Structure 1
């Protein structure tokens, strides 16, 4: 669109209300006071509305749109706290079945809509991206014209501009004008105003940098959002769990098989009821209270480039006692102690009993690892035992069929098929038995041989969080910049005082983006003992309050 040329010769963008240079009104507007919001300059969103780009720009530049995006984010985040996120589900639980089993139809809907993994869901990411776009466009739509207007403002502002300022007065020039001018300039400098003069006009200005506070806020928020979005990439952020049984070695998730952790020993310390500090309180609690728990662990690093397996060569890196808030840190990763499980079933020991077996034959045993069972066992007494079905955490489904809730051996059931000596291991020729804790049933009538459980091994399991956060410096930087902008816009205020001699009169006007009371006090100090009257506040009390809101870019931008 064509630019508008002011009578002072300055070319203003289309839609400008007050000339960027001299301040003369370029458009008629009702009311006694000038609209000083963004210095009366034109904003792109208010002047262009033809192309698709214009419509997108205008949509995201709206403060109302930004507020609604924030409201939607808050609502979604609130709903995400109704049920636990997937990362906090009990060990071995599947999200696809857990929410429906625990919370019914609403839990299933919660899962299907993606609230179970809210902060990495595609639609939540899109809302965050929309908020970032809104912040960028809203800031550019306001800060660019505001910067241009403040940079090009003239010292000798037009009389109509001065008359329409909220604080304004006229004074007939007296004999002591020169002395008064020197006194005014001296006091303005004492108040740390920056003074510019041209002919018979003067502009005193201070704290212009405060106008950029809201936009620095936006920069900080944008950087913070970028840091949050980068958490979607595993190389930037990882928050996972590993469970390591005592005496076992597990690969550390997220390290691409480079690092392994061995649980050498897990210790739990409980509070004693005779504790001098907490003893009385502990007597009111039925369950024991954990004082501290730790994992004595050894970290290994893979030494060869082969595949991960039983033959993987490992080099010891270090040993460490992992406690709560005292993680094991290595290669940008940290292992935090967050959970544990005592006395988890680990191994069953069985033997075969029968009327035709002697004591030596019945003394032969075999062990079944409940976490990684073999499917066939050849015994020294000539028997062969095969596992037909294994249910680590036995349950009956809706069709009353046996299944397992998860892979954790909390309630194991094993269907064995026993083949006596000199019997070929063919399906249907052996004797079937269902074995579990306090469970021993023959599945095909009376069996000649019975599988008896002779021993149970249990093990402590430690739960560790694997965390890597390379976005933390970005988040800290964004938060620090935000706080700088907040302080900058809250504790300093942009103030300007204009003096202009014209036709034997001295025109005095003042403007502040907020905190008009401070500007009035500056006028009282500067004009004291000069005989020049204080500027008149041209707005009544109610209008003054509304004017604070109109003139403050911080209100508009935040």
Structure 2
């Protein structure tokens, strides 16, 4: 595609509407000049043959970019209908949880992958497509616009002047150009002069505001996508019972945290006045503080990961809301808790026929989080746990199952072997035990398992968070705001004044806020005898309206 040479001698890329140098229209359409991109040739409007051209043209389209944004917004909204997998109760099987909690919609939500939306491959493709669209759309417009503005001459073709929206002409003999220049400079215009012609310009930097926006958005998107790279972002939960120590995720088993004590403190209804109304309501305590007294440990050098890991104490910290335990870029936040979770059951055996002295020995504790499966006593009694269901329920098929490993509704199936039975050959007395549940599951019971004591424990829920992408996101957001301010509060204004054949031509252009441009021209015209200008767009619209009315009248 050959370049188009203007009468001024400048060679313009194929598809250029206004000469990049003198501004002469290279295509005559009878309308005002389209100055949106200075009439330059954009690649997307010029090359349409190869596969690269078609891909470039597709992503350079503003409509395509808007549709990608709409798809991202719609899918992101759907992703908030139900909790993401990371926020469902720990230990839950997501393939069952969504259907059980939310029915058919929940199952569909899971099957379509919305339960892990923000890390799914197709959501990442949408984000990547938006980034590609921003890059290509920006380059497609920025490069030719920058080139055209950089090459613009002071002296413009008369046709260019007459096709500007703000235009006027008159005799040149009475104009005081020196006063005009002084007034333009007082308005902070940058004035260039060539052969008695003037070009006054200010606010060109405002034209780059949208492209600065795009740069900020691209950096922001890169920061968001980096969250899915290993080591860049971590957002996990850890539940720790009082007295227990858990490994901190994201540290490769190097750091551990111990829950020494969990506290829930309430406002004193005698001393606090600001919550009196709430404090007076029944069953409505007002919490003043959630706190986990925690200890941070580090695996000793040379130690191995396992139950016998040797730990070195690092520090103690009182974790409260907005007061996390922080170390090496990782923060532990107080976000949840559970009061009085079942922890231990203490059982004894009872019988109307057996020797009571023998039964006094048979006392066994069951740790509901790590139960011992077999108990053997010197008097010959043996107790075995056949099945343990921490959170018991009956499936649709009538089978006993557990929802998760949290002991919210525990059921234990015991088999008791008295001294005169052989566990290898005989069947013992089988029963199911739980809170307010004690059922014999076979016949011939002479013994009964009795629950004597229950131990409860408080559990704290901590969020483990590390975010190395936050500085990138902040930089991207800051650049975006700079571009937004740059393009919103300033605007590019130009005024051309030139003499031709004894006539004075005045034209003006603004990328927005035409009222301010007209006021500037009125200011410099006062007392300088510049020709009066008028808005040709209003006249063009009036002509089109008259034509429309005449057409309607003719059709009647």
Does the alignment reach a TM-score above 0.5? yes
2:197 paired with 1:198? no
Task: Indicate the residue corresponding to 1:213 in structure 2.
Answer: 209
* Residues 364, 380 of structure 1: 8 Å contact kept: no
Q: Tell me the alpha carbon deviations over residues 481-511 of structure 1, each in whole angstroms, 9 at most, x when there is no partner.
A: 0110011001111111112122122221111
Between the aligned partners of 1:481 and 1:427, the Cα distance in structure 2 is: 78
SS of aligned partner of 1:139: helix
Post-superposition offset of 1:172 = 1.4
2:222 paired with 1:226? yes
Post-superposition offset of 1:423 = 4.3
Q: Tell me the alpha carbon deviations over residues 198-254 of structure 1, each in whole angstroms, 9 at most, x when there is no partner.
A: 222221111110000001011111111111111112411111100000000000111
Aligned pairs for 1:108-507 within 5 A:
108-174=107-173, 177=175, 180-274=176-270, 275-354=272-351, 355-359=353-357, 361-421=359-419, 423-426=421-424, 428-507=426-505
TM-score normalized by structure 2?
Answer: 0.94
SS of aligned partner of 2:99: helix
Q: Which moved more, 1:83-92 or 1:260-269?
A: 83-92
Give the length in aligned residue pairs.
Answer: 541
Task: Indicate the residue corresponding to 1:54 in structure 2.
Answer: 53
Q: Tell me the alpha carbon deviations over residues 299-336 of structure 1, each in whole angstroms, 9 at most, x when there is no partner.
A: 00111344322210111111011111111111111111
* Residues 278, 286 of structure 2: 8 Å contact kept: no
* Residues 233, 467 of structure 2: 8 Å contact kept: yes
SS of aligned partner of 2:442: coil
TM-score normalized by structure 1?
Answer: 0.93
Q: Tell me the alpha carbon deviations over residues 437-461 of structure 1, each in whole angstroms, 9 at most, x when there is no partner.
A: 1222222212223222221111000
SS of aligned partner of 1:37: coil
Between the aligned partners of 1:465 and 1:506, the Cα distance in structure 2 is: 72
Post-superposition offset of 1:359 = 2.6
* Residues 347, 456 of structure 1: 8 Å contact kept: yes
Between the aligned partners of 1:269 and 1:232, the Cα distance in structure 2 is: 38
Q: Which moved more, 1:336-345 or 1:356-365?
A: 356-365
Q: Tell me the alpha carbon deviations over residues 67-99 of structure 1, each in whole angstroms, 9 at most, x when there is no partner.
A: 111111111122122222222223432221111
Post-superposition offset of 1:480 = 0.5
Q: CA RMSD in A?
A: 1.8
Q: Which moved more, 1:270-279 or 1:489-498?
A: 270-279
Post-superposition offset of 1:344 = 0.5
Between the aligned partners of 1:317 and 1:187, the Cα distance in structure 2 is: 71
2:27 paired with 1:30? no
SS of aligned partner of 1:187: helix
Change (3 A) 1:439 1:192: same
Post-superposition offset of 1:463 = 0.4
Unaligned runs of 5+ in 2: 545-556
* Residues 34, 165 of structure 1: 8 Å contact kept: yes
Post-superposition offset of 1:541 = 7.5
* Residues 17, 25 of structure 2: 8 Å contact kept: yes
Between the aligned partners of 2:55 and 2:301, the Cα distance in structure 1 is: 54
Unaligned runs of 5+ in 1: 547-558
Q: Tell me the alpha carbon deviations over residues 278-319 of structure 1, each in whole angstroms, 9 at most, x when there is no partner.
A: 122333353433332110000001113443222101111110
Change (3 A) 1:342 1:541: farther
Task: Indicate the residue corresponding to 1:550 in structure 2.
Answer: none
SS of aligned partner of 1:38: coil
Between the aligned partners of 2:368 and 2:308, the Cα distance in structure 1 is: 22
* Residues 273, 280 of structure 1: 8 Å contact kept: no
Task: Indicate the residue corresponding to 2:551 in structure 1.
Answer: none
Change (3 A) 1:401 1:375: same
- 1:535 is matched with which residue: 517, 533, 536? 533
SS of aligned partner of 2:122: helix
Q: Which moved more, 1:163-172 or 1:394-403?
A: 163-172
* Residues 250, 260 of structure 1: 8 Å contact kept: yes
Between the aligned partners of 1:375 and 1:442, the Cα distance in structure 2 is: 19
SS of aligned partner of 2:292: strand
